[in-house]
């Protein structure tokens, strides 16, 4: 851990129910205990929040990714923020490693909502003074907020894992679509590896067809990188295409393992050798897989929290 020499006496770390394991890891790393707060449900299904200690004048950091069940976790966050505001907290920072509705960031057809903007409005209206998030699906979502947004990237954590493997000059980083080239380039720069791009089309939402691959993958270790793995259809089809074009090994990495429906079964049955994910979202306990390796974002998030608290530059950590 960096030597921050931070006075943490006014720092209060709190967690909702979305990812308490990540919150505990952050707590252990920065050596700040989790605040005694309970988030539950009333009999009618409404969110219940009870903070069992004084937080007057404290700087609150709430760990709450808005993953499945999305709407419950969004409401839990908003109500926790309101409780903190009414308890006279000095400042409230929301740590939302996975930002829900990020794929609804623009209108692609008439009469569609821009839900990512709506969620931003709700967070600001509730009283959040700062947002810390990880690998937004669309980086421009930062502009939906009128408060500071710290956009942390998982690429350094993922790159560090692959640097410890023995792939030498065989690695090529593959973007699963044209929109992900910037993300692939960032990881490739860390790994000093070339990139390739899968060109695909989506005949229907949630479905993808591989059209062609730009770049050389023959006899290479192909590493596909994406921000989200949802149904895993694109990932598995891309892996199949890479194998057909002569890739020796196919690996995959993503920041947010949404893994909806039968995604884990698809990955287990695919040619993907390993899927590297982070713990922004807890993995479904009832869907284990020997192929999935989980890396933690706790240290990266913890360093940002300490820098925010010390009023030091955060951008240095994002380079």
Q: Tell me if residue 146 falls in helix, strand or coil.
A: coil
Residues of the chain above pLDDT 70, percent:
94
Tokens of 315: 């951008």
pLDDT of residue 314: 87
Mean pLDDT on 239-266: 94
Catalytic status, residue 200: yes
Asked if 124 and 147 touch (Cβ cutoff 8 Å), the reply is yes
**Which residue blocks in the chain are alpha helix, DSSP H?**
20-30, 70-86, 115-126, 155-163, 181-191, 233-244, 263-269, 298-309
Whole-angstrom distance, CA of residue 16 vs CA of residue 304: 19
More confident residue, 245 or 202: 245
Q: Which residues of 192-231 are buried (b: 16+ CB within 10 A; e: fewer)?
A: ebebbbbebeeeeeeebebeebebebeebbbbbbbbbbbb
pLDDT of residue 169: 78
Whole-angstrom distance, CA of residue 283 vs CA of residue 294: 9
Catalytic residue among 25, 58, 200, 220: 200
Strands (E), the chain: 11-15, 37-41, 47-51, 59-63, 91-96, 130-134, 149-152, 171-175, 195-201, 209-214, 221-229, 249-257, 274-278, 292-295
Task: Report pLDDT digits (tens) over 196-236.
Answer: 999 876 666 656 666 688 999 999 999 999 999 999 988 99
Q: Tell me if residue 319 falls in helix, strand or coil.
A: coil
pLDDT interval class at 22 (50, 70, 90): very high
pLDDT at 168 exceeding the cut of 80: no
pLDDT interval class at 275 (50, 70, 90): very high
pLDDT at 3 exceeding the cut of 60: no
- Smallest CA-to-CA distance from 141 within 187, 100, 92 is with 100
pLDDT of residue 208: 61
pLDDT of residue 318: 64
Whole-angstrom distance, CA of residue 144 vs CA of residue 147: 9
For residue 292, how far is the Cα from the chain centroid? 16
Asked if 80 and 14 touch (Cβ cutoff 8 Å), the reply is yes
Angle formed by the axes of helices 20-30 and 298-309, to 10°? Answer: 60
Return all residues near 21 (Cβ < 8 A) that are at least 6 apart. 279, 282
Task: Report pLDDT digits (tens) over 284-307.
Answer: 877 779 999 999 999 999 999 999
pLDDT of residue 167: 81
pLDDT of residue 38: 97
pLDDT of residue 256: 98
Residues of the chain above pLDDT 90, percent:
82
Residue 286 CB: number of other CB atoms within 10 A?
6
Asked if 30 and 305 touch (Cβ cutoff 8 Å), the reply is yes
Radius of gyration, alpha carbons of the chain = 20
Q: Tell me if residue 99 falls in helix, strand or coil.
A: coil
Q: Could you give the domains of the chain?
A: 11-153+298-318 (3.40.50.2020), 155-295 (3.40.50.2020)
pLDDT of residue 216: 92
Task: Report pLDDT digits (tens) over 127-155.
Answer: 999 999 999 999 999 999 999 999 999 99
pLDDT at 1 exceeding the cut of 90: no
pLDDT of residue 207: 60
Mean pLDDT on 93-108: 96
Task: Report pLDDT digits (tens) over 50-85.
Answer: 999 999 999 999 999 999 999 999 999 999 999 999
Asked if 268 and 288 touch (Cβ cutoff 8 Å), the reply is no
pLDDT of residue 286: 75
Start-to-end Cα distance in the chain: 17
pLDDT of residue 112: 95
pLDDT of residue 210: 62
User: Mean pLDDT for the chain?
Assistant: 93
Say whether pTM exceeds 0.85.
yes
Q: Which residues of 25-59 are buried (b: 16+ CB within 10 A; e: fewer)?
A: bbbebbebebbebebeeeeeeebebebeeebeebb
């Amino acid at each position: 851990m960096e030597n921050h020499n931070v006075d943490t006496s006014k720092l209060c770390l709190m967690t909702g129910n979305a990812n308490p394991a990540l919150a505990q890891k952050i707590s252990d790393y920065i050596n700040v205990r989790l605040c005694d707060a309970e988030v539950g449900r009333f009999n009618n299904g409404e969110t219940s929040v009870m903070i069992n200690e004084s937080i007057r004048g404290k700087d609150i950091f709430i760990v709450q990714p808005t993953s499945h069940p999305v709407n419950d976790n969004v409401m839990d966050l908003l109500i926790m923020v309101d409780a903190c505001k009414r308890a006279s907290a000095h400042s409230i920072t929301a740590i939302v490693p996975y930002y829900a509705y990020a794929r609804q960031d623009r209108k692609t057809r008439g009469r569609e909502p821009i839900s990512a903007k709506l969620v931003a409005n709700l967070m600001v209206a509730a009283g959040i003074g700062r947002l810390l998030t990880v690998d937004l699906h669309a980086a421009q979502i930062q502009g939906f907020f009128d408060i500071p947004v710290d956009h942390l990237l998982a690429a350094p954590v993922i790159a560090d894992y692959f640097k410890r493997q023995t792939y030498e000059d065989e690695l090529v980083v593959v973007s699963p679509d044209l929109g992900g080239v910037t993300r692939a380039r960032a990881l490739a720069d860390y790994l000093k590896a070339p990139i390739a791009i899968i060109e695909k089309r989506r005949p229907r939402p949630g479905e993808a067809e591989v059209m062609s691959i730009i770049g050389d993958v023959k006899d290479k270790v192909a590493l596909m990188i994406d921000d989200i793995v949802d149904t895993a259809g694109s990932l598995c089809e891309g892996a199949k295409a890479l194998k057909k074009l002569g890739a020796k090994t196919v690996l995959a990495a993503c920041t947010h393992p949404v893994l909806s429906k039968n995604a884990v079964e698809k990955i287990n049955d695919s040619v993907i050798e390993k899927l590297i994910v982070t713990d922004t979202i807890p993995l479904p306990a009832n869907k284990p897989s020997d192929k999935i390796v989980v890396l933690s974002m706790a240290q990266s998030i913890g360093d940002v929290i300490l820098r925010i608290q010390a009023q030091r530059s955060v951008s240095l950590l994002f380079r």
